[in-house]
């Protein structure tokens, strides 16, 4: 296999991408995924209207750090002019690329014609993409879904049109908007795009990859250029290196022991406190504790303590206690 490139960004032979996830893919989370083998990452999706109005929440999402490169800033919206202006603002934050979200299925986004909502208006999707490509000098990429529902799947046509107006890579989540995150992702449709003779940009598959074995099987079966991983990385950033190791050797790495789980949780907490402020950093970490220690027998009392604590020092002390009490514990698979 040759090297995968997006513009002049070299991503290796089979890159693993961290999906942009709302309220998850912030700099502290991206830091632990980068340390554990993610090749390319994206910001949380950022509202174009928020950016052009200089809304604090949207602007903060532009924060990127040198250690996490290459990174893409992902924007969404339903107005072409706002998206064009937002792309220019995103370019000013100096990412490696600008990514357009045409995949978010959430009602408040999709039903306003943004995210996956634009799949109901392919000409507008093409025009919006064209304007963004013209606006910025960075590579532009897109993340989308198969269609709005089963009767509107035109993903090959969509890919060709977006490639024609200049995008340099396409990530496809193998579900329709109607499916949300239910059912099984249909990678055969992703393969149709990848294997179409007119498609020459990298095609990345997304949906349901939650183990090294599945990653290898899907790579071999569907021929994609790389895989984007979302939910499976939440609380388990080790999945990237586990997949790489398995693809290289055919061997499964041992799951992280408690010492390693605590180390990564502490690193994530530390950065969260530093990046936000103490109160916000503590609050935003609460959603992660369950995931970092999922499957550990008798862990609930400690999870409760972690979620209820409002003191950074106390949180680090609890985590230290966890590493001692559960020293020999492994998650129940």
**SS3 of residue 226 by DSSP:** strand
Closest-CA residue to 86 (of 53, 118, 40): 53
CB-count exposure of residue 204 (10 Å: 0-12, 13-18, 19+): buried
Report the DSSP pairing between strands 203-206 and 226-229: parallel
Peptide bond into 243 cis (omega under 30): no
Are 153 and 193 within 8 A, CB to CB? no
**SS3 of residue 134 by DSSP:** helix
> Rounded to an integer, what distance in angstroms lies between the CA atom of residue 70 and that of residue 98?
11
User: For residue 286, how many other CB atoms are within 10 A of its CB?
Assistant: 13
Q: Where are the alpha helices (DSSP H) in the chain?
A: 27-35, 48-52, 56-60, 80-92, 107-110, 122-135, 155-164, 187-194, 212-222, 239-249, 258-275, 278-292, 300-308, 312-325
> Rounded to an integer, what distance in angstroms lies between the CA atom of residue 167 and that of residue 99?
9
Identified catalytic residue from 4, 104, 109, 285: 104
Q: Which H, E and C letters describe 90-107, residue by residue?
A: HHHCCCCEEEEEECCCCH
Q: Is 104 assigned a catalytic role?
A: yes
Are 125 and 102 within 8 A, CB to CB? yes
Which residues are known catalytic residues? Answer: 104
């Amino acid at each position: 296999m040759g090297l995968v490139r997006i513009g002049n960004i070299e991503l290796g032979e089979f890159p693993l991408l961290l999906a942009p996830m709302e309220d998850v893919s912030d700099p502290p989370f991206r830091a632990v995924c980068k340390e554990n083998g993610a090749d390319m990452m994206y910001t949380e999706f950022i509202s174009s209207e928020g950016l052009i109005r200089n809304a604090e929440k949207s602007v903060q999402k532009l924060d990127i750090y040198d250690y996490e490169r290459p990174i893409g800033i992902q924007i969404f919206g339903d107005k072409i002019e706002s998206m064009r202006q937002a792309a220019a603002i995103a370019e000013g934050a100096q990412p490696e690329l600008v990514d357009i979200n045409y995949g978010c299925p959430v009602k408040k986004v999709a039903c306003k014609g943004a995210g996956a909502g634009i799949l109901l208006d392919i000409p507008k999707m093409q025009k919006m993409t064209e304007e963004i490509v013209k606006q910025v000098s960075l590579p532009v990429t897109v993340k989308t879904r198969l269609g709005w529902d089963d009767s509107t799947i035109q993903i090959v046509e969509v890919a060709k049109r977006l490639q024609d107006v200049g995008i340099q890579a396409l990530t496809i989540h193998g579900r329709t908007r109607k499916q949300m995150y239910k059912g099984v992702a249909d990678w055969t449709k992703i393969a149709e795009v990848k294997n179409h003779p007119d498609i020459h940009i990298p095609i990345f598959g997304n949906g349901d990859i939650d183990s090294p074995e599945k990653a290898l099987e899907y790579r071999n079966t569907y021929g994609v250029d790389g895989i984007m991983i979302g939910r499976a990385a939440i609380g388990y950033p080790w999945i990237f290196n586990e997949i790489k190791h398995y693809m290289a050797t055919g061997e499964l790495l041992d799951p992280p022991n408690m010492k390693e789980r605590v180390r990564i949780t502490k690193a994530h907490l530390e950065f969260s406190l530093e990046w936000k402020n103490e109160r916000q950093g503590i609050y935003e970490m609460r959603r992660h504790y369950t995931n970092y220690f999922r499957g550990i027998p008798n862990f609930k009392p400690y999870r409760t303590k972690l979620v209820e604590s409002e003191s950074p020092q106390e949180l680090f002390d609890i985590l230290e206690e966890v590493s001692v009490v559960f020293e020999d514990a492994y998650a129940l698979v």
